[in-house]
Structure 1
């Protein structure tokens, strides 16, 4: 079974107007359980739009989205929010950590929002930080961390609620090449060890080559 299925996805901006732009044009994409897929696309091709639709942050104008075998068409905001919170983890190019909270607290807060007991959330945060080699930085705020450390904390936050699908939009694009390689190694170690499915957008062909499969987004459609 696939963890993510996008079928016939269409997304237009300014529909019905002379300025209409078709970003996604009947796009099909699938990510199998435990599979790590690279999404390669030039700037402006619509990869962020695709990831937003896959992550239930946006809705297509046509087509179907399935997450974990569950159809999202016709589901209300409550169901979509629950699936997004529990089934999907997000990582962006910039870490988007909450500056007033520590590294550990940034990982604890999403769990508390999902009703997890504080003691369990604390233990989960400690375990994740240990996995990425940041136990000693747990009480540091984002401004006290390096760029690579901040992004590793962002990975931990994305995994805080135990998702089955990870969506990442240029997760190392804001880092220098050496740090990018180190951080990507950490990300791949976590993904492989937990059996996560992942769709990772990247411009870096070397990083893309380390994934299970490479998909190219061009002219609103996917080619393998």
Structure 2
């Protein structure tokens, strides 16, 4: 049996520990995500979903518990090792696209590949393929300011998948879009995810979008419950 792509065991996280204003954000979180599985993480604002995603993606460290990616326990690993795994195996998508404004859509997807040692020609070929897959290949030479909100977010999706990660973590990826655009953009995201077979944890407060994923879990009072 293959190791799960992501395994969180006993994850706990608090802010201002030992202080009167201590906040226990996560309490003994256990989560396993299988290869190719897409999990919806449903939670209201302030419930700790961003903290959970940051820990899962090695951007933050838990107070207690372990994080395994591809069967490797990342607990206590050096910053260099964590950065290498994050760059190679994890893709991130946020509510805001965070594209580099001075670069075109194509260049925004090429740059992370170059940083990972891919050749210019190979990076451009993959970037164009990804843009075509989400239906905006014809916008490749446009800078972010010339793109609509939905187009900007599609470019962000492509950038997150540029280095072919094993795990995608998305924090309200359509939260800034109107309902019609949100539905279209989410469909484009799912096309990318299903087409590449990667695993994903996608945070959303939209129950209709959550229902289109393989499994739905809810973050309540610092713990996960199945929907």
Q: Does the pair score TM above 0.5?
A: yes
Alpha-carbon distance in structure 2 between the residues aligned to 1:2 and 1:208: 21
Q: Report the alpha carbon displacement of residue 116 of structure 1 after superposing the two structures with TM.
A: 1.1
Q: Report the alpha carbon displacement of residue 130 of structure 1 after superposing the two structures with TM.
A: 0.9
What's 2:50 paired with?
48
Aligned residues: 224
Q: Report the alpha carbon displacement of residue 142 of structure 1 after superposing the two structures with TM.
A: 0.1
Are 2:103 and 1:130 equivalent residues in the alignment? no
Q: Report the alpha carbon displacement of residue 74 of structure 1 after superposing the two structures with TM.
A: 1.5
Q: Which whole-Å deviations, capped at 9, do the CAs of 1:105-137 have from their partners, x for residues lacking one?
A: 000010111111111111111111111111110
Q: Report the alpha carbon displacement of residue 178 of structure 1 after superposing the two structures with TM.
A: 0.3
Q: Which whole-Å deviations, capped at 9, do the CAs of 1:48-71 have from their partners, x for residues lacking one?
A: 000000010000011000011111
Are 2:219 and 1:217 equivalent residues in the alignment? yes
Are 2:21 and 1:38 equivalent residues in the alignment? no
Compute the TM-score of the two structures, normalised by the length of structure 1: 0.99
What's 2:68 paired with?
66
What's 1:8 paired with?
10
Alpha-carbon distance in structure 2 between the residues aligned to 1:218 and 1:126: 40
What's 1:77 paired with?
79
What's 1:174 paired with?
176
Alpha-carbon distance in structure 2 between the residues aligned to 1:198 and 1:113: 23
What's 1:195 paired with?
197
What's 1:114 paired with?
116
Q: CA RMSD in A?
A: 0.7
Alpha-carbon distance in structure 2 between the residues aligned to 1:112 and 1:201: 29
Query: Which ranges of structure 1 fall in alignment gaps of 5 or more residues?
Result: none
Alpha-carbon distance in structure 1 between the residues aligned to 2:184 and 2:58: 30
What's 1:88 paired with?
90
Are 2:188 and 1:186 equivalent residues in the alignment? yes
Q: Which whole-Å deviations, capped at 9, do the CAs of 1:124-164 have from their partners, x for residues lacking one?
A: 11111111111110000000000000000000000000001
Query: Which ranges of structure 2 fall in alignment gaps of 5 or more residues?
Result: none
Are 2:4 and 1:17 equivalent residues in the alignment? no
Q: Report the alpha carbon displacement of residue 43 of structure 1 after superposing the two structures with TM.
A: 1.4
> Could you say what secondary structure the match of 1:2 adopts?
coil
Alpha-carbon distance in structure 2 between the residues aligned to 1:59 and 1:88: 15
What's 1:101 paired with?
103
